Amino acid sequence: MIVGRRGRIVAGLLSLLVAALVPLLLPVGMQNLAIGGALAVSVLYAFGVLSVVVLTGYVGQVSFCQATFMGISALATAALVNHGLNYFASAAVGVALSFALGIIVGIPALRLRGILLAVVTVGVALSFDYFFFQDASFGWFNGGLSGWKVEEATFFGLSLNNLDFDHLIKVYWLLLALFAVIAVAIVNLHDSGSGRRFRAIRDSEVAAATMGVDLTRYKLLAFGISAAIAGVGGAFFPLVEGAVTHDPFSFFHSLTLAAVAVLVGIRFIPAAILGGVFLQLFPYAIAKLEQGLNHQDIGLTWFNAVLGALLVFQLIVYPDGVWGSQAKQMSHALTRLPVARRPARAVR
């Protein structure tokens, strides 16, 4: 019989393979501009789902302002590009601002946990949503009600002056490669000493402190890393859309990111890319169905209803998330496969 550890390794490799094949095969045979944009945005949202996986799945901290971190980075990047800074430097500043805001939001986590911490992050998200992202007093940052239109900028040869299908597919592959690099880094973090301390905090803060884990340092670090990952997704919104408004970064989107992360598997990195695909392409499919049925303004309602029903079903049938439960079943099945064994050597 295959030993349990070997089965888990093989199951993990197969899971990564499946997670890689889905986004790789999605663009095959597609030449539609709307689909190209939806594919690229799905990877951006995958960064948001991944940030929830890191913060909640790894460290056990609750946050309902991940879309806020994305918005800070997106608006900062667009504002700086419009003020003459090159796109790469602008994106780096945007991610750094998200990281800093994550550290600030993480300060209450030093004394709060559970529902109280969740309420604090809700307050942060609503404050940014209704004031900093929309108020005309912050027009220098949010670009006003119409947001920022990003033009005359390039990023690794990708020009924002020509947002055609070829541009969007190239951005899609670029974002997918960047996501893979960050995912591998997070996997390495999980297996490192810091990762073990993160998991100790998730399992029991009291026990972690007893073992000598610096709760202040690692909680703030977790919030900062999570916010930076979300910020990476936000920084590339202008590269995909050519413009940035506050709409994709509302409090509702933060709730949706958390819900999708729970649905696909909040402790599993490969699930993040599938969560991003679901979050973007499923509403697109509903919109196409809406057109076929000649209905209007039902897409968001349908998406919310279906997502809610799927969450109830998942929590009952797949408590570890759809991805996590399937990966466990695969691992269990692999442990039951017979393998050839070498004959025992005679002892002389």
**pLDDT score recorded for residue 344:** 43
- 58 phi, psi to nearest 5 deg: -90, -40
pLDDT tens for 159-169 read 676 667 777 88
**pLDDT score recorded for residue 33:** 65
**pLDDT score recorded for residue 202:** 87
pLDDT tens for 174-227 read 888 899 899 888 888 877 888 888 888 888 888 888 888 888 888 999 999 999
**pLDDT score recorded for residue 293:** 59
Residues contacting residue 43 through CB under 8 Å, at least 6 positions apart: 23, 172, 175, 176, 179, 233, 273, 276
**pLDDT score recorded for residue 44:** 92
Q: Sign of the C-alpha dihedral, residues 270, 177, 9, 191?
A: negative
Tell me the average pLDDT across 257-279: 86
Q: Does residue 50 carry a pLDDT above 90? A: yes
Closest CA to 8 of 324, 269, 334: 334
Tell me the average pLDDT across 248-265: 88
Higher pLDDT, 182 or 270: 182
Q: Does residue 243 carry a pLDDT above 90? A: no
**pLDDT score recorded for residue 101:** 94
User: Are 75 and 92 in contact, with CB atoms under 8 Å apart?
Assistant: no
Residues contacting residue 308 through CB under 8 Å, at least 6 positions apart: none
Q: What is the pTM of this model?
A: 0.83
Judge residue 58's burial from the number of C-beta atoms within 10 Å of its C-beta, 0-12 exposed, 13-18 middle, 19 or more buried. buried
State the Cα–Cα distance between residues 222 and 246, nearest whole angstrom.
Answer: 25
**pLDDT score recorded for residue 294:** 58
User: Are 275 and 323 in contact, with CB atoms under 8 Å apart?
Assistant: no
**pLDDT score recorded for residue 20:** 54
pLDDT band for position 337 (cuts 50, 70, 90):
low
State the Cα–Cα distance between residues 130 and 233, nearest whole angstrom.
Answer: 21
State the Cα–Cα distance between residues 55 and 296, nearest whole angstrom.
Answer: 37
Closest CA to 41 of 16, 18, 23: 23
Mean confidence (pLDDT) of the chain: 79
Share of the chain above pLDDT 70, in %: 78
Q: Does residue 268 carry a pLDDT above 70? A: yes
Angle at 251 between CA 289 and CA 259, to 5 degrees: 60
pLDDT tens for 284-320 read 777 766 666 555 555 566 777 888 888 888 888 777 7
Q: Does residue 99 carry a pLDDT above 90? A: yes
Listed range (33-37, 255-259, 344-348) with the worst mean pLDDT: 344-348
pLDDT tens for 101-117 read 999 998 887 887 778 88
Maximum mean pLDDT: which of 5-19, 38-52, 156-170: 38-52
* Residue in the structure block whose two tokens are 């970064």: 249
Listed range (33-37, 65-69, 133-137, 260-264) with the worst mean pLDDT: 33-37
Share of the chain above pLDDT 90, in %: 19
Q: What string of H, E and C letters represents the secondary structure of the chain?
A: CCCHHHHHHHHHHHHHHHHHHHHHHCCCCCCCHHHHHHHHHHHHHHHHHHHHHHHHHHCCCCCCCHHHHHHHHHHHHHHHHHCCCCHHHHHHHHHHHHHHHHHHHHHHHHCCCHHHHHHHHHHHHHHHHHHHCCCHHHHHHHCCCCCEECCCCEECCEECCCCCHHHHHHHHHHHHHHHHHHHHHHHHHHCCHHHHHHHHHHHCHHHHHHCCCCHHHHHHHHHHHHHHHHHHHHHCHHHHHCEECCHHHCHHHHHHHHHHHHHHCCCCCHHHHHHHHHHHHHHHHHHHHHHHHCCCCCHHHHHHHHHHHHHHHHHHHCCCHHHHHHHHHHHHHHHCCCCCCCCCCCCC
- 163 phi, psi to nearest 5 deg: -90, 60
Greatest pairwise CA separation for the chain in angstroms: 87
Closest CA to 190 of 54, 323, 331: 54
pLDDT band for position 158 (cuts 50, 70, 90):
confident
- Measured in whole angstroms, how far is the alpha carbon of residue 289 from the centre of its chain? 26
**pLDDT score recorded for residue 70:** 95
